[in-house]
Structure 1
């Protein structure tokens, strides 16, 4: 049996039902060779239709985020906020923070891309590049090292807070993106850009600590020279 295409009047009625009620998604049409079949009348393309579910997926991910993630955010915000004002830092404290942040960023790369050689290489290259660049910049003129107390006097800065938030939100956004679109880990731009971003954060942290240690070494040499004189 051959099925004819509905008239324009019937099409308008069907579109009205589409907007207000559960609706038809196909109409009969005559295919090649006169074989009766159906044809979609849903105006939404498949990609747009699937995208309507993404806000629901995102909401579910946010609602099921473990509470310890928010605890980590509060801790990092507190640690970074302490750097906004001038303070004194010991040698050990200067070293611990870059090591911890480098470990967190490295874990972000491994958790997203596993032991991918390309991702790990991208992380390392970006870190080394930023270390070299930041080491060329001088310390703020107000930075001092007290050799007797083995402490630094540093001015307040927002850089540590921004770096910590950068690592945290990169880790979170990448995790959410991969949960919604697992195929992203195979895209070249994503697989190279994310590790490079993590590496840049780690490199800046490491270089800032290295500059302080370099100041301590220079101050210790000057004190030793003065005592010898």
Structure 2
């Protein structure tokens, strides 16, 4: 790909995409700082990324059995891996604030950028080679990537929520 083609791709990218990138960068950068997070916010972020993953899959390939199985299978596998990892290990429930102390990390930003870059690259690729959407290998690989990346945020939130005492109401009810 030459510089002229790259410039054309960037110029033909809708403005809302750059707004989404800016929002994801701001959100991701905020995750690099230690913060107090409410239960509601912990539940919202993974749902948003699951929505982005499903949207990316549906908009590119529709929802047929191979795509759905790839997405769901990679989601479950990734969720279980993150859940088993205990990440983020230093997060803890703070009863006085009825919220969670979550240490800063660059990993959420990296994951957000991976999701954005994947969605952008798939969009560009399919606009240049629309026939790829009908290729099972491409559709399954991309769907699996969306599922796996979406699950990381769900697993992380579940691990944090599990640190609250049961009486606090935030026991691990997020896809336990």
TM score, norm. by length of structure 1: 0.68
The answer to whether structure 1 residue 120 and structure 2 residue 68 are counterparts is: yes
* Aligned twin of 2:85: 137
Aligned with residue 99 of structure 1, among 47, 53, 67: 47
Q: Distance in 2 between matches of 1:117 and 1:140?
A: 34
Q: Structure with the greater relative contact order (CA < 8 A, sep ≥ 6): 1 or 2?
A: 2
Q: Distance in 2 between matches of 1:104 and 1:142?
A: 27
Contact 1:122 1:195 in 2 (8 A): yes
| Post-superposition offset of 1:117 | 2.3
Could you list the runs of 5+ residues in structure 1 that have no partner in the other structure?
A: 1-51, 222-229
Q: Distance in 2 between matches of 1:158 and 1:149?
A: 25
Contact 1:105 1:199 in 2 (8 A): yes
* Aligned twin of 1:166: 114
Change (3 A) 1:110 1:141: closer
Change (3 A) 1:191 1:55: farther
Give the length in aligned residue pairs: 169
Which structure has the greater CA radius of gyration?
A: 1
Q: SS of 2:96's equivalent?
A: coil
TM score, norm. by length of structure 2: 0.88
| Post-superposition offset of 1:150 | 1.5
* Aligned twin of 2:97: 149
* Aligned twin of 2:123: 175
Contact 2:91 2:103 in 1 (8 A): yes
Could you list the runs of 5+ residues in structure 2 that have no partner in the other structure?
A: 170-176
Aligned with residue 148 of structure 2, among 200, 224, 227: 200
Q: Distance in 1 between matches of 2:42 and 2:73?
A: 23
Task: Quote the RMSD (CA, aligned, Å).
Answer: 2.0
Q: SS of 1:157's equivalent?
A: coil
Change (3 A) 1:140 1:72: closer
